[in-house]
Structure 1
């Protein structure tokens, strides 16, 4: 058994197709099939159930795949440790952020990182919060921008900034009479919110529950930009994080809340065991400059 055979096996497990797996692994299909067959013979078990139309994992294969993923993650970690020993500020760095943050953070951040860390190969991942946390645990990403606080003994975090919410309304809405607005004023209104799974939805719901604000049940947006367009179309009103607001925007009005305004705390999160702490410290210091 060797690392290469495990990589071949997981490629088939993920893709469910020998041809596609061979293409991904840059080998011929007979070579890949032969190595997996050899692995099965070495282990004395059937890892894959093969039919004319598809390939699927056997029950034992599912268990072996789980163990193989763990092994390959540790191999990657060994390589990262060795790479960091040569140059802690070089190599691959996988950075995640949730969708209602990544669109507005990455465009400004990437040029700065390239300037201060020219030898770093930055890979950006946009996923919902739960997926990013799972990827951190599995070692599939090195760090992520997430909303704090985060209760997780395996992870550590550093708060970077606070992002206030403003109320977004159509220009002809009656609430535009207010220069600032108290959250309790919204008790008689319903807010447009994102669909399930977005942390911004959960943050907005927390505010709504405290102040007795209702949710518009007939409409749920898949993303923040869709939510913005729904407000512009006159569908309703919503919370908009300050980081997502364009100063020269037309067709929508943003009303600040009276203090204390609703807000979210944004931080960088990483594993306690990371070998990329030098890069993480550089990114944190870059934020602290602003």
Structure 2
């Protein structure tokens, strides 16, 4: 018998799930079918890979060594499949984009694509955790997102900085100005602050720069989109941190919104092009990074004229 990619994928899924039943569901097969493949893999390699406990599995020393090789092999296979698809005459780059970037940057990106035709994109908009999982599984080629924390599975190329401004109605901002002469995020009243739902990296970044825990907020809206949040701010229900990238679009949609810049150093996020660690440095990566950076700077130039 020989080791198959199916067996390796099932083995990796089993380790990640920690349970045969859960792994079988994730791989869309029956539990007996997955169990047979794992047993055949163990027979081929001549050793047990997992200890079968009542409620979980545990890797054996041999299993840990095989897992490390399995991950390297599957990564190489994913890269091979992606390269073959991208090198064809109808090559398309599958790009994931977070929701607090997609509606504000993509129109400018497609404007450049129409003019230059450097790369063809297939887009996927979702929250950071979902996109990261799909990138690691090979369903996406790259992500446009806030630069992630250090993760050995990911490689991030910084593109540009996106500064945060304080958004609210003019009267509410005037009250803030009367209380805070030199505006810094940590000086904001948590009772005034409105943020996106958990799972949005923008909400996590806003909490971090303000030095807050979500439990400290008087109103936890669970707003699903930045557009919804801005409508609430325009109706004078509170304040929010608005990324410069979204400024022109959201202020045009809600003219009641006024803005105030923070003192230097201004709070910001770094947007990055993220790929799987160890992926080949292909020409499209540089072209896409340049395209996204140019589009971002153009949107920010337009935003600077408003605030």
TM-score between both structures, scaled by the size of structure 2: 0.61
1:40–1:263 distance in 2 versus 1, CA, 3 Å: closer
Q: Which one of the candidate residues 244, 247, 253 is aligned to 2:257? A: 253
1:9–1:248 distance in 2 versus 1, CA, 3 Å: same
2:158 aligned with 1:165: no
Give the structure 2 partner of residue 39 of structure 1: 41
Tell me if the contact between 1:95 and 1:143 (Cα under 8 Å) persists in the aligned partners: yes
How far off its partner does 1:185 sit? 8.4
Size of the alignment, in residue pairs? Answer: 273
Give the structure 1 partner of residue 5 of structure 2: 3
- State the distance in 1 between where 2:26 and 2:67 align: 15
- CA RMSD across the alignment: 4.9
Cα deviation code 1:123-151 (max 9, x no counterpart): 5363337984x887887754332445977
Unpaired stretches in structure 1, ≥5 consecutive residues: none
TM-score between both structures, scaled by the size of structure 1: 0.64
- State the distance in 1 between where 2:230 and 2:128 align: 19
Tell me if the contact between 2:188 and 2:210 (Cα under 8 Å) persists in the aligned partners: no
- State the distance in 1 between where 2:138 and 2:282 align: 14
How far off its partner does 1:176 sit? 5.9
Give the structure 2 partner of residue 286 of structure 1: 291
How far off its partner does 1:248 sit? 3.6
How far off its partner does 1:278 sit? 1.6
- State the distance in 2 between where 1:207 and 1:66 align: 37
- State the distance in 2 between where 1:67 and 1:131 align: 25
Matches within 5 A, 1:184-223: 184=183, 187=187, 189-190=189-190, 191-194=193-196, 198-201=200-203, 203-205=205-207, 208=210, 217-222=217-222, 223=224
